[in-house]
Structure 1
Amino acid sequence: MNSASNQSNQGFPSSVRAHRRHVLRVGSLALGGLTLADLFRAQGVRGDQKWYDSVDGPAKSVIQIILPGAVSAQESWNPKPESPLEYRGPFGVNQTSVSGIVLGEMMPQTAKVVDKLTILRSVVGKIPDHGAGQYHMFRGYPMTPALKHPTIGSVVNHEYQSRGELPGYLVIGDSKDETGYLSPKYGPFTTGADPASSGFQVRDLRLPGGVTMDAFESRKRMRDAINAQFRALESNASPLDTMDAYYQRAYRMMTSQSVRDAFDLSKEPEQIKQRYGKDQFYRGSGSQAALRMLLARRLVEAGARFVTLRYGQWDDHSALQTSFEQQMPAFDHAFAALINDLDERGLLDSTLVWVASEFGRTPKINQVAGRDHWSRVFSIAMAGGGLKRGMIYGDSDATSTDPARDAVPLADLHATIYRQIGINSDKELMTAGKRPIEIIDGGKPIDAIVA
């Protein structure tokens, strides 16, 4: 099966067989972003690829939650209550819904959904630098000046067509430079605004200023008439038909009630918004966490394949306690609500949710009550998408200095994510210079966490 024909509305296809084909030239892209037509035009284009055996991927969708700045595992996913004070930090712990598992004191709501999570407590990074760490975590390769790699979301967008009328990859907020050696056409569709902002509207779903829907429809009819005239004059109208199909799809997205409804948070009952924590926490951060995660659920429910959102700023070199007191309650509330909401709607088993930062924080509290950069061991949380529930995998030692057991290299983490969404992580994609590059260099899926 050619990857360009993977059109199942039932989730990620079980087969990722592909053969070589010519790339269709579809015109230039606007600098700094994509038009809707560009994005949909990309769905008919795939690069040179190898042949691969089938991969069964239970995940139809992915929600990727990034906590930028590097959240401390000792205060969140892997507290050390028995360690000396200078190691364990300022907080206590919460007992969870799974006997014997504890989370940080600031995560009481997440503690109640641990029976639905898999927490990896022995993840191993390489470089404790924000830029390099984020690159490695969300692209799968260490940063190198020789080649820029695509993000996981862009790879998924490259491998699969979108389901329904939504683009294959969406970012809540803004994003840039995600496609690496892949064509920019595989980058995300971005909302361009925060759903927590007043008067939130999605960029590129709005009509140009001063243009009414009637005028927009009139322009479309005129364009259709001109295209019809060209078709009558052309001996081979196939290229025109192909291009027109892309514009028609962009048009359908702009005018689709189901697409507009997916982004329209006013359609969500107020009690659901409050369940996610809207208006309940410090300086509006509750609305940011709540409405970003709620929008992610709505997009997945509407058929989105891959959704990325970010929350907070966790680079706590000083005043870590204050930072957690200000930011973690909103995250805790919204994340627990997201997991419960997905589960109640029957979406969790088919939606892979993962929460990650670029690295961890130092074992000891420093002299200004913070923790510095540390990549030798840290934690991430996952849920759904065919993973086991209520599981802890691996651990750090008593002081959170190094893995104590079952170390998880980033390549293994990424191989697991790709397998759950039906992609062979050793598959070779082609750079613009026709150089074959494996999606992930090495790495083995973590079989122990798969249901």
Structure 2
Amino acid sequence: MSPSSAHGVSRRAFLRRAAALAAGVYAFPRWALAGADERTALILVWLQGGASQLETFDPKPGTPQGGPTRAIETALPGVRFAAGLPKLAERANRLCVLRSLSGREGDHRRASYVLHTGWSINPALDYPHLGALLDAERAAEGLGFVSLGSVPARGGFRGAAYAPLEVPNDRPPGGRAPDGFAARRELLKTLESEFSRRAHADAEQRVQAFTQAQRVLEGPIRGAWDLEQEPQATRDAYGASLLGRRLLVARRLVEAGARCVVVESPDWDHHEDLFRRHASRAQELDAGLSALLDDLRARKRWERTVVACFGEFGRTPTINPRQGRDHYPQAFSGLLAGGGLRPGVVGATGPDGARVVERPLRLADVHATLLARLGVDPAGQQLAGDRPLDLVDAGEPISEVLG
């Protein structure tokens, strides 16, 4: 983050807005919010470790950089995916393929923070996760933010009340017996009585978070983890992998009222033996994500659910001596789908995949696009204490996908 943006409003954002005001217009195009609905849910699939764009959505076959990876045609004329994604290739006409993402962070922790918050790490300010931001900015009822796996950011300066319900495994939250939970609830009531005599905002927010978790444990949303309720054919379509099960749980969660579900897909950091290791990950992603897309359409949730699929960065075009690819934020790819977004391809990299040559995009632009589609004005501001801050770090909605 630049020094200017550490104070809340980046210089780029300030100049953009100043120019718009001088011209007598508002900087954010109002058409971008057309059709937006605060009840629309978000499923964010995180390819943790950084998936290779050259082995997924931007292959370069027949070049030294492309390696042994073959490319196949997709349902989008003239667009090819890596051969390990045949099911997604068949559904490409439902996808927004972003091929021109770039960033500055090549470290997992720092890059993951940017992916999940839209901001670079700032030691003086803990930014909220996108899911927490959506929960805070939208007035919709229901469970706000669930993480199936780990996330690198939580409620941030928006407070503990907006932290995710974090479920690190396949089991529903709260494995203890109901009597044990009831005892903890009685203890909570005692603590609430004590805190009611004090002014302590953080404690109050933690009570709110506990109360939210209690509603999950005692309410119908807990049943989202009971995959035995699903037909065998549905479970088979998603696959038996961890990712497949998590994607099916995510679909059930948004149907039960969750507004943002992050699905962590681990182990995409292939510095060695990439072509063998990537194949199994790609097979799981191809099956699970394709099944999710089909399911959302079949169950009439397509227009009311946005699906996003990204790693924190891409991989080097150069294949290293260990037959792997290293971290590469300079050019990578991601997907958006559903939620009324317009399918197609945005941006391009050069023949060797080393740099973006058309329509450069940042993850902040993805955040602005998601906010706009989910009913939040990305040109708005939020408060960290008494300091006004932009919702997005100078990101602009991607007009090509906001139909």
| TM surpasses 0.5 | yes
DSSP 3-state at the match of 1:342: helix
Bigger shift: residues 67-76 or 171-180? 171-180
Which residue of the partner structure matches residue 145 of structure 2?
Answer: 169
Which residue of the partner structure matches residue 431 of structure 1?
Answer: 384
DSSP 3-state at the match of 2:296: helix
Does residue 309 (structure 1) correspond to residue 270 (structure 2)? The answer is: no
DSSP 3-state at the match of 2:293: helix
Does residue 385 (structure 1) correspond to residue 339 (structure 2)? The answer is: yes
Label 1:301 to 1:438 Cα distance change in 2 as closer, same or farther (>3 A). same
Q: 1:102 aligns with which of 80, 91, 103?
A: 80
Does residue 370 (structure 1) correspond to residue 324 (structure 2)? The answer is: yes
Q: 2:222 aligns with which of 260, 264, 269?
A: 260
Which residue of the partner structure matches residue 273 of structure 2?
Answer: 319
Does residue 194 (structure 1) correspond to residue 181 (structure 2)? The answer is: no
Tell me how far 1:212 sits from its aligned partner: 8.4
Label 1:139 to 1:253 Cα distance change in 2 as closer, same or farther (>3 A). closer
User: Which digits, 9 at most, give the CA deviation of each residue in 1:57-106, with x for residues without a partner?
Assistant: 24710000000111110110111124x2x211221012212221110011
Tell me how far 1:334 sits from its aligned partner: 0.6
Which residue of the partner structure matches residue 116 of structure 1?
Answer: 94
Bigger shift: residues 244-253 or 287-296? 244-253
Q: What letter is aligned with 1:353?
A: V
CA distance in 1, matches of 2:320, 2:237: 36
Q: 1:272 aligns with which of 195, 218, 234?
A: 234
Which residue of the partner structure matches residue 393 of structure 2?
Answer: 441
Which residue of the partner structure matches residue 141 of structure 1?
Answer: 119
Q: What letter is aligned with 2:355?
A: D
Please, which runs of 5 or more residues in structure 1 have no aligned partner?
1-52, 231-242, 279-286
Does residue 125 (structure 1) correspond to residue 103 (structure 2)? The answer is: yes
Bigger shift: residues 86-95 or 352-361? 86-95
Name the Cα RMSD after superposition.
2.8
CA distance in 1, matches of 2:396, 2:138: 22
Q: Percent identity?
A: 30
**Contact 2:162/2:209 (CA < 8 Å) preserved in 1?**
no
Does residue 184 (structure 1) correspond to residue 160 (structure 2)? The answer is: yes
CA distance in 2, matches of 1:137, 1:313: 17
**Contact 1:163/1:304 (CA < 8 Å) preserved in 2?**
no
Does residue 395 (structure 1) correspond to residue 375 (structure 2)? The answer is: no
**Contact 2:161/2:209 (CA < 8 Å) preserved in 1?**
no
Q: 1:298 aligns with which of 252, 269, 272?
A: 252
CA distance in 2, matches of 1:251, 1:310: 24
Which residue of the partner structure matches residue 203 of structure 1?
Answer: 173
Label 1:305 to 1:412 Cα distance change in 2 as closer, same or farther (>3 A). same
Which residue of the partner structure matches residue 25 of structure 1?
Answer: none
User: Which digits, 9 at most, give the CA deviation of each residue in 1:20-53, with x for residues without a partner?
Assistant: xxxxxxxxxxxxxxxxxxxxxxxxxxxxxxxxx9
User: Which digits, 9 at most, give the CA deviation of each residue in 1:342-389, with x for residues without a partner?
Assistant: 111111121110001111111111121111111111100110112112
**Contact 1:157/1:187 (CA < 8 Å) preserved in 2?**
no
CA distance in 1, matches of 2:365, 2:287: 30
Q: What letter is aligned with 2:388?
A: P
CA distance in 2, matches of 1:187, 1:437: 19
Q: What letter is aligned with 1:405?
A: E
Which residue of the partner structure matches residue 56 of structure 2?
Answer: 76
Q: Normalising by the residue count of structure 1, what TM-score does the alignment of the two structures yield?
A: 0.73
Tell me how far 1:408 sits from its aligned partner: 0.9
Which residue of the partner structure matches residue 60 of structure 1?
Answer: 40
CA distance in 1, matches of 2:177, 2:229: 21
**Contact 1:160/1:168 (CA < 8 Å) preserved in 2?**
no
DSSP 3-state at the match of 1:325: helix
User: Which digits, 9 at most, give the CA deviation of each residue in 1:278-312, with x for residues without a partner?
Assistant: 2xxxxxxxx20110000000011112100001113
Does residue 418 (structure 1) correspond to residue 371 (structure 2)? The answer is: yes
CA distance in 2, matches of 1:245, 1:73: 41
Does residue 360 (structure 1) correspond to residue 314 (structure 2)? The answer is: yes
Label 1:251 to 1:313 Cα distance change in 2 as closer, same or farther (>3 A). closer
CA distance in 2, matches of 1:250, 1:371: 40
How many residues are paired up? 356
Higher-Rg member (1/2): 1
**Contact 1:87/1:364 (CA < 8 Å) preserved in 2?**
yes
DSSP 3-state at the match of 2:258: coil
Label 1:319 to 1:405 Cα distance change in 2 as closer, same or farther (>3 A). same
CA distance in 1, matches of 2:222, 2:104: 42
DSSP 3-state at the match of 1:408: coil
DSSP 3-state at the match of 1:310: strand
